[in-house]
Structure 1
Amino acid sequence: MRTTGPDGLGERAYYRPDEGRLTLPDGSPAADWPADALAGPAADLAERGAADVVRVEGADGRTLEVFVDGIAAPDDLVVFGTGHDVGPVVEFAERNDFRVTVVGFRGAVDLAERFPEAHRTVTTSPGALDEALDVDERTHAVVMTHNFVDDRIAVEALLRSPAPYVGLMGPRERFEEMLAAFDEEGTTFDESALDSLYTPIGLDLGGGSPYQIAHSIVGEVLAVSNGRAPRHLREREGHIHDRVDVDAPPSPEP
């Protein structure tokens, strides 16, 4: 057994996606076997936030079992609006491990004071969203400003972004009115963009109070974030949680 590298009982190493390699606790790179064989499975598990025991074999016949615990960065949820119905959504989203940003379009409200559970608050104008926010494929958005013009501008910007979920508060007829306004302006969206839009927002849970509505909204966001179609668990066959399947690539010959 070598004295260097993460291959002894109790030894630890860390994989950070931005570095693309395994590092030892002191920050030095973990080079050679088994670091090269573990990098791929570690990257996969880190992206999914999953854990598994990975078995790697060296060219000299040595075998090593390593427990890899992947910790993924939380998904973002951006909530547009400052009304009192926003608070329960922010609260439930934060408790469900989303990194929550509240965006307000009017400067008269102290967003940090009104929404203490939010990780970040932003006050901007609807036309400056591209500069104020960094929306990527792990950003989910809930639009609930209750202002038709503000909602329309926000929805247009979000549908042109990689956001996989854009939830719009209000009845279906309200979005149809938006589409008519977009059409008058000559603004169009392809089907893939419209597939990310959820309106009316939320799951059909039957409740109408602010907290019941928030449960409905955050539940829908969770389902999209986890790649699930909401249904009763009694209707699901097999395990409740998906099993992790990660294979380490064989080590190259020396």
Structure 2
Amino acid sequence: MLDLGTELAAWRRAGTPYALATVVRVGGSAPRPPGAALAVGADGTVVGSVSGGCVEGAVYELCREALESGTPVLQRFGYSDEDAFAVGLTCGGILDIFVQRAGDATVEAALAAAERDIPVAAARVVAGPAALVGRAITVVGAARGAHPAESVATGTFGADPALDASVVAAARAMLDLGRTGLSTLRPDGRAGPESAPDDVTVFVETRTPPPRLLVYGAIDFAAAVTRMGNLLGYRVTVCDAREVFATRRRFPDADEVVVDWPHRHLASIADTLDARTVITVLTHDPKFDVPLLDLALRLDLSYVGAMGSRRTHEARLTRLREIGLTEAESAALHSPIGLDLGARTPEETALSIFAEVVATRTGGTARPLRTATGPIHHAAARPATRAAPVRSRTPPSCEPPLDQRR
């Protein structure tokens, strides 16, 4: 839902009615993660996606119904069998999708914060007592590095204040970690050992500013890495100490181009980085690389990779150990950078680098899928929660799946 903040801004400002469908739970090889959303305007316009095509038609109809009735609904879509007209996921996954008519002021505040790239968590009741379903609490604006309690919570479920307090605490913790997921609580805010008819199932969705990509070394390969980083949603900074190379004209796809010594630049922004940050060191020059990597490998980052031959890598490691880097710290360095794709051009090399970045982040094996077993879609581990109760319904129709390769 929060990823549609910008797309929905015009509807919100114009007061255009719309309904919002959000993926709140996935199982198996589902195509979209929790938080993926689709919105349908009063004129039938659609933005977003919840499944890549498999159940879009049925979800569209649910949204139209919600626009007319104002009644929220939680719907489960599972595997569609040999019946070509069945509504479901050909990939064998499961999606629980919550649909509600927009208009709740608390939800609108969350979308507005997301549009402005302000960290935000939106907690909505997706199952439980009818009077609570669709109610929302929003946590907005904890500054990076600040204590989560400094964020501002608005909204109420209108039930036991202890339930609100428990949800706010959970939303703040999930916002701090950048997590999204379901939680089932008793009406007094406690986690119950067993399911009960009056349980309250809350979906907490978070959105933080885009992850950072720091590209050190304004060489030709850096331009391709910058373009791909931009495509994948990173906020890209290119930095080089050589003013003649670090220019906006050479890197039009970067969000910023900085002329500075790499290690000095990294030191100046280190406290603004988080565990999603990716650093690529492309200079393969010891006077730039060694002081930069000495700092980068001591930070809690997603990925640090350095370009260079195997001989360059061994010489670099020797220098780093001589200045005090530990074996554990140096083991975090991805060098030579990238996966073995046989890359030759700058664009192929960028593909090789980001293939390794994604595999590192998700825990993927980087093996061909035809030789691997297990789930195709990797996801970060989340605490187990009880599945939300869902409304049993078989919508009448669905367009053919757009992607038969899942």
Q: Same fold (TM over 0.5)?
A: yes
Shift in Å at residue 174 of structure 1? 0.5
Change in Cα spacing, 1:233 to 1:14, as seen in structure 2 (3 Å) is farther
- Residue 163 of structure 1 aligns with which residue? 301
Shift in Å at residue 220 of structure 1? 0.9
Q: For 1:154, which of 292, 296, 313 is the aligned residue?
A: 292
TM-score computed with the length of structure 1 as normaliser: 0.77
Structure with bigger RCO (C-alpha 8 Å, 6+ apart):
1
- Return the alpha-carbon distance in structure 1 between the equivalents of residues 216 and 345 of structure 2: 19
Q: For 1:236, which of 373, 382, 395 is the aligned residue?
A: 373
Instruction: Answer yes or no: is the 8 Å Cα contact 2:219–2:245 preserved in 1.
Output: no
Q: For 2:164, which of 26, 35, 44 is the aligned residue?
A: 35
Change in Cα spacing, 1:31 to 1:145, as seen in structure 2 (3 Å) is farther
Q: Percent identity of the aligned residues?
A: 26
Trace 1:8-157 onto structure 2 (pairs within 5 A).
8-16=132-140, 18=142, 19-20=148-149, 23-24=153-154, 32-43=161-172, 45-46=174-175, 49=178, 51-59=180-188, 62-126=198-262, 128-134=264-270, 135-157=273-295
The number of residue pairs the alignment matches comes to 239
- Return the alpha-carbon distance in structure 1 between the equivalents of residues 319 and 166 of structure 2: 55
Shift in Å at residue 164 of structure 1? 4.4
Change in Cα spacing, 1:37 to 1:45, as seen in structure 2 (3 Å) is same
Aligned-partner residue type, residue 247 of structure 2 = L
Shift in Å at residue 138 of structure 1? 3.2
Instruction: Answer yes or no: is the 8 Å Cα contact 2:238–2:256 preserved in 1.
Output: yes
Aligned-partner residue type, residue 313 of structure 2 = F
Q: State the Cα RMSD in Å.
A: 3.3
- Return the alpha-carbon distance in structure 2 between the equivalents of residues 202 and 191 of structure 1: 21
- Return the alpha-carbon distance in structure 1 between the equivalents of residues 317 and 186 of structure 2: 58
- Return the alpha-carbon distance in structure 1 between the equivalents of residues 295 and 275 of structure 2: 14
Instruction: Answer yes or no: is the 8 Å Cα contact 2:184–2:202 preserved in 1.
Output: yes
- Return the alpha-carbon distance in structure 1 between the equivalents of residues 203 and 300 of structure 2: 33
- Return the alpha-carbon distance in structure 2 between the equivalents of residues 126 and 241 of structure 1: 33
- Return the alpha-carbon distance in structure 2 between the equivalents of residues 137 and 107 of structure 1: 30
Shift in Å at residue 245 of structure 1? 4.0
Shift in Å at residue 144 of structure 1? 0.5
Instruction: Answer yes or no: is the 8 Å Cα contact 2:282–2:306 preserved in 1.
Output: yes
- Residue 175 of structure 1 aligns with which residue? 313
Gaps of 5+ in 2: 1-105, 107-123, 126-131, 143-147, 190-196, 387-406
- Return the alpha-carbon distance in structure 1 between the equivalents of residues 228 and 199 of structure 2: 45
Gaps of 5+ in 1: 249-254
Give CA-to-partner distance per residue, 1:18-65, whole Å, 9 cap, x none: 244672269xxx992322222354345545655434322123985323
Shift in Å at residue 139 of structure 1? 2.4
Instruction: Answer yes or no: is the 8 Å Cα contact 1:233–1:240 preserved in 2.
Output: no
Change in Cα spacing, 1:49 to 1:164, as seen in structure 2 (3 Å) is closer
Aligned-partner residue type, residue 176 of structure 1 = E
